[in-house]
């Protein structure tokens, strides 16, 4: 295993994209991260990667222990599909600049309605996609890529956007399972050194 101390993660406590990367790093047993500064960018020597999906796939290639992508082609596609729904069809629509734009154009209520609408659409798709494949975790009994993307999104849905998770029983059950895992607990926004004390 390469030297963990060479990796520096630039992050932000509340960023769900950063939370994904923290979970992946925790799963791959990196314990020492340098103080975080900005939403996810990983610096590894002279390599700088500025996107959580790219960072996680880089970690997967470089540190194959605790694989996040299954070898089985169908299961791998399922994991990539779930991760992509989160990273392409939900998170960009709840991103800060988008929410600020809606609030400035309309008001805070419209902002919340906008976010809830897009999160609910994505969660409905994920619930349908995963309910027949889920085991203890999203695609079986191992923690995989889909889980790394789902946990921060469900957390944001619950804590920031008041999503009613009873509509999504599979996702709600998965969230309970994530909350039991140390790698996921340590990545929670409120556990980060840059989180405000009132959060
Ligand atoms: N596709 C990028 C998206 C990065 C992104 O949208 N980051 C969000 C936090 S999750 C952010 O920086 N929001 C604050 C801003 O844009 O000012 C990734 O997955 O890393």
Q: What is the CATH number of the domain that holds 132?
A: 1.20.1050.10
In this structure, of 35-39, 114-118, 178-182, the range with the lowest mean pLDDT score is 35-39
pLDDT at residue 4 is higher than 70: no
User: What SS3 class is residue 140?
Assistant: strand
Closest Cα to atom 12 of ligand 1: 39
Percent residues over pLDDT 70 in the chain? 92
Residue 199 lies in a domain: no
48 strand-pairing partners: 43
What average pLDDT does the chain have?
A: 92
- 49 bridge partner residues: 42
Instruction: Quick: pLDDT tens for 19-60.
Output: 999 999 999 886 544 344 446 889 999 888 888 999 999 999
97 inside domain: yes
- Specify whether 62 is located in the same domain as 135: no
More confident residue, 195 or 1: 195
Task: Look up the pTM and report it.
Answer: 0.92
Atom of ligand 1 nearest to the CA of 87: 19
Residues 60 and 79 grouped into a single domain = no
Q: Is the pLDDT of residue 1 over 80?
A: no
The predicted structure's pLDDT at residue 56: 97
Do 16 and 57 share a domain, yes or no?
yes
DSSP letters of 20-74? Answer: HHHHHHHHTT----PPP-SSSEEEETTEEE--HHHHHHHHHHH--SS-SS-SSHH
* pLDDT for position 5: 52
Would you say the CB of residue 94 lies under 6 angstroms from ligand 1?
no
Atom of ligand 1 nearest to the CA of 55: 20
**Which among 37, 38, 24, 14 has a CA at the least distance from the CA of 159?**
14
The Å distance, Cα 127 to ligand 1 centre, comes to 24
Assess whether the C-beta atom of 52 lies below 6 angstroms from ligand 1: yes
- The residue whose C-alpha atom lies closest to atom 5 belonging to ligand 1 is 17
Domain assignment of residue 147, yes or no: yes
Answer yes or no: is 196 within a domain.
no
> 193, 88, 58: which is closest to 149 by C-alpha?
88
Segment 133-152 shows an average pLDDT of 98
Ligand 1 mean position, distance from CA 77 (Å): 24
- Shared domain check, 118 and 44: no
The domain containing residue 88 runs over which residues?
73-184
Residues 15 and 40 in one domain: yes
pLDDT at 188: 97
User: Could you tell me if 54 and 119 lie in one domain?
Assistant: no
Q: In whole angstroms, give the CA distance from residue 181 to residue 91.
A: 23
Give the pLDDT of residue 110.
Answer: 97
Q: Is the pLDDT of residue 2 over 60?
A: no
- As a whole-number percent, the residues of the chain with pLDDT over 90 amount to 81
pLDDT at 111 over 60: yes
Burial (CB count <10 Å: 0-12, 13-18, 19+), residue 73: exposed
Q: Are residues 25 and 57 in the same domain?
A: yes
pLDDT at 36: 41
26 and 88 in a single domain? The answer is no
Same domain membership, residue 82 and residue 48: no
Which tokens sit at 145? 């890529």
Residue 120 lies in a domain: yes
Residue 107 and residue 36 share a domain = no
How many structural domains is the chain composed of? 2
What's the DSSP call for residue 90?
I
Take atom 15 of ligand 1 and give the residue whose Cα is closest. 96
Probe target for ligand 1 pocket from 12, 17, 50, with the most ligand atoms within 8 Å of CB: 17
Residues 62, 116, single domain; the answer is no
Pick from 151, 146, 156, 157: nearest CA to 56:
146
CATH number at 25 reads 3.40.30.10
Looking at the structure, do residues 92 and 14 belong to the same domain, yes or no? Answer: no
């Amino acid at each position: 295993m390469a030297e963990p101390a060479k990796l520096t993660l630039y992050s932000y406590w509340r960023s769900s994209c950063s939370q994904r990367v923290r979970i992946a790093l925790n799963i791959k047993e990196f314990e020492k991260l340098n103080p975080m500064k900005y939403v996810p960018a990983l610096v590894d020597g002279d390599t700088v990667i500025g996107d959580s999906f790219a960072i996680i796939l880089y970690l997967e290639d470089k540190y194959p222990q605790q694989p996040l992508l299954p070898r089985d082609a169908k299961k791998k596609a399922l994991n990539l599909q779930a991760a992509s729904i989160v990273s392409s069809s939900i998170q960009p629509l709840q991103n800060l600049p988008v929410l600020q734009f809606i609030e400035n154009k309309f008001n805070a209520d419209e902002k919340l309605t906008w976010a809830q609408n897009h999160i609910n659409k994505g969660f409905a798709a994920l619930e349908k996609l995963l309910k027949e494949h889920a085991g203890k975790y999203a695609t079986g009994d191992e923690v995989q890529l889909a889980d790394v993307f789902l946990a921060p999104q469900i957390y944001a849905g619950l804590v920031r956007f008041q999503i009613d998770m009873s509509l999504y029983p599979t996702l709600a059950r998965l969230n309970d399972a994530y909350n039991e895992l140390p790698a996921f607990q340590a990545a929670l926004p409120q556990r980060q050194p840059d989180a405000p004390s009132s959060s």
